[in-house]
Structure 1
Amino acid sequence: MRIIFMGTPGFAVPVLEALARAGHEIVASYSQPPRPGGRRGRQLVASPVQQAAEALGIPVLTPVSLRSSEEQERFAAFGADVAVVAAYGLILPPPILAAPHLGCLNVHGSLLPRWRGAAPIQRAILAGDAVTGVGIMQMEAGLDTGPVRLEGSTPIGNKTTGELIEELAAMGAELMVRVLADPERYPPRPQPVEGVTYASKIDKAETRFDFTRSAVELERQVRAFHPAPGAWLEYQGERIKVLSAEVEDGAGPAGEVLDDRLAIACGDGAIRPVTVQRAGRGVSSAEDLLRGFPIPAGTRL
């Protein structure tokens, strides 16, 4: 097929590469414009999808919007059979959705209709969902409301967002290749009316530990925000990221350090950071942190 690919972050790269391996003609790749990055943010850095597309010799377009008639005409001029979308990050206006013969197919990282929206993987972990997955959705004007052609699932267990991104990206790539190989075999099925939830963007305020919440909730927070933006606590005015943690038995005033191993009382139970990172420093174990930066029992965080 003649495909326009639309994606931006690393989640989308396995999908792009799988389509290329399957022998499809990828006539263009759309991605969000390069952002400030590199050392001290002084360089413009191309998105992972742009870098992957350029490595494959695929033309890359990075418009800031698709709302203008000029951009819509340029998109339609590619004469694509289908547009494949994976975490692109821009709204697709109706003329874009309607331009390809088979419309636009989205790789969405949840089992729809649960967790429509921007951060489905993080929200599934935060909510304590047992299972998540990925679906190939026929896009329409509503927010992730379109019918689903094919989906797969996986248990969440103790996985982090980073781990689930890798797993679901590979699964989504496989499913998309299957759908495009025989679209009639996988007709679009309307989403159930029941069970709709929305995965709003992650607010930075959500990343700080609130010790009045349960230890189970805080451990989910650690996994949901790993590798980025990272859950954190503050001590002596310094932010300490918590990269992994364990739930333990323990009780005390919320936020009180209970022992010399950094077990911290929560609204229910206690949480013990296992892997941490001080601002501007490397990753270390909590044990190593405490050797050079003591946080004694009885401290209120």
Structure 2
Amino acid sequence: MRLAFMGTPDFATYTLKALIEEGHEIAAVYTQPPARAGRGKQLRKSAVHQLADLHALPVLTPQSMKTEAAIQEFKDLNLEMAVVVAFGQILPVPVLDAPQYGCVNVHASLLPRWRGAAPIHRAIMAGDSETGVDIMVMEAGLDTGPILAEAKTTIGETETTADMHDRLAQMGADLIHETITAFAEGNITPQAQAEDGITYARKIEKSEAKIRWNQSAQQVDQLVRGLFPFPGAWFEVEGHRFKVLSGTVMPHRNNKQKPAGTFLDNALTIACGDGAYQIQKIQRAGKGPMHREEFLRGFPIEMGSQVDC
């Protein structure tokens, strides 16, 4: 089919690559404009932009899809369909209605759970045991459209957002060609989303990344795994900030006599509101990641020390 692809981060590249390999005509690739990144603050193209350049695909980077010029340019492509994966902009109705078969979206959750910007992070942070990928027809509402296809997967007890990101991205790519082809041929009937069980995966705020040790050890672990690799869960001791990269829940540790946030030993085991959490991999601000033993040789934290509140 004659398609436009609209996406920005690495997650979206899996689907774009699949569409290219299946031989679809990519009339244009839409992505967010290059942004300044890194220590030198150099302009850097998005992951989707880089992949499009590699395949000599035309790339458009409008600041907004809501301007008359952007809408008309999109209409002039005479598309059969647009495929959208984490584009980063809300598409207006004239854009959604322009392609012959509309716009479809690859979304990393089992809708209607975790509509919105950060579904992978939120699923892990909430302790969900299952997630997946939905392909839906886009509507004006936020991730409210009817479902065309779905694939499910479990979330392992130690899996992080990084782990789930790659698996879900590939699952979406595996579904896309068969789904959009069957939909265009009239062989799929879109299924309305359930009216109950709706949750919203709002964007991760910086304030959420601070570990609240008065929560249970399981909740601390979910936060650490959900925020790995970015932005990372953190705490402070004596004015020094540390990012926790991984750890182990120790629910049977008796720490009732110790307040939450107390180091229970000399091996980075910290009392929680329920149970304890032992840090396995840690990163000090301005330093590289370290395993627990290596870190403690250079920055010992003694039993009884308390995290900064």
TM interval, short-chain normalised: over 0.9
Question: 1:231 aligns to what?
Answer: 233
Residue type at the aligned position of 2:85: A
Letter in 2 for 1:293: F
CA distance in 2, matches of 1:298, 1:222: 23
- Which residue of structure 2 lines up, in the alignment, with residue 15 of structure 1? 15
Tell me how far 1:181 sits from its aligned partner: 2.6
Aligned to 2:64: 65
Match of 1:298 among 298, 301, 304: 304
Equivalences for residues 244-263 of structure 1 within 5 A: 244-248=246-250, 249-250=252-253, 251=255, 252-263=258-269
Matched position secondary structure for 1:64? coil
User: Does 2:10 match 1:4?
Assistant: no
Match of 1:276 in 2: 282
Match of 1:86 in 2: 85
Which residue number corresponds to residue 187 of structure 1? 189
TM-score by length of 2: 0.96
Question: CA offsets per residue over residues 213-234 of structure 1, 9 Å max, x none?
Answer: 1110010111100110011111
In the TM superposition, 1:134-213 aligns within 5 A as: 134-157=133-156, 158-183=158-183, 184-213=186-215
Amino acid at match of 1:266: C
Amino acid at match of 1:141: A
Please give the root-mean-square deviation of Cα atoms over the aligned residues, in Å.
Answer: 0.8
1:21-52 deviation per Cα after TM superposition (whole angstroms, max 9, x unaligned): 000000100001111113x1420000000001
Query: When the two structures are aligned, how many residues end up with a matched partner?
Result: 300
SS of the equivalent of 1:136 reads strand
**Percent of residue pairs identical:** 50
Query: What is the rounded CA distance, in whole Å, between the counterparts of 1:125 and 1:172 in structure 2?
Result: 19
For residues 224-269 of structure 1, the C-alpha deviation after alignment (integer angstroms, 9 at most, x for no partner) is 0011001111112121111111001321210000001110000000
Q: Give 3-state SS (helix, strand or coil) of 1:206's partner.
A: helix
2:291 maps to 1:285: yes
Residue 143 of structure 2 aligns to a residue in which SS?
A: coil
Shift of 1:185: 2.4
Residue 25 in 1 paired to residue 25 in 2?
A: yes
TM-score by length of 1: 0.98
Unaligned runs of 5+ in 1: none
Unpaired stretches in structure 2, ≥5 consecutive residues: none
